[in-house]
Amino acid sequence: MVQNFMVRQKQSMIKVKHILVALFFNMLLPCAVCYGATDDPMAIGMNNAVLFLLGVISFILLGIIGSIIHFYRRSKTLN
C-alpha cells in the first residue's frame, strides 16, 4: 500500500515536471551569449558585466587577504 502510494507520487511529480518544462520552455533556451553570437550587443554587455563582477569580487577578496596578512604581521611584532 505504501509502495503503491510512493509510485503514484513519483508519477505525479514526473507529470508536474513535464508540465513545467512545457510552460517555461522558452525560458530554458539559451541567450545570444550561449548561442555564440559574439557580435551581438547583448553578448558584449554580458561579457563586460561578468568581467566587472569578477573584478569587484577579486578586489574584495584581495582586501580580505590583505587585512589577514596585516593582522598576522602585526600580531607577530607584538609578541
Q: Could you read off the pLDDT of 12-59 as tens digits, one per residue?
A: 888 888 888 777 776 666 666 666 677 778 778 888 999 999 999 999
CB 41 within 8 A of CB 49: no
pTM beyond 0.85: no
Grid cell at residue 55? 573584478
Over 80: is that where the pLDDT of 66 sits? Answer: yes
Phi-psi sector, 36: left (phi>0), alpha (psi -120 to 50), beta: left
Task: Answer yes or no: do 9 and 38 share one domain.
Answer: no
Task: Answer yes or no: do 11 and 44 share one domain.
Answer: no
Is 17 or 60 the better-scoring residue by pLDDT?
60
CA 73 to chain centre: 36
Task: Answer yes or no: do 54 and 71 share one domain.
Answer: yes
What is the extent of the structural domain holding 6? 1-30
C-alpha distance from residue 17 to each of 11, 20, 32 (Å): 10, 5, 26
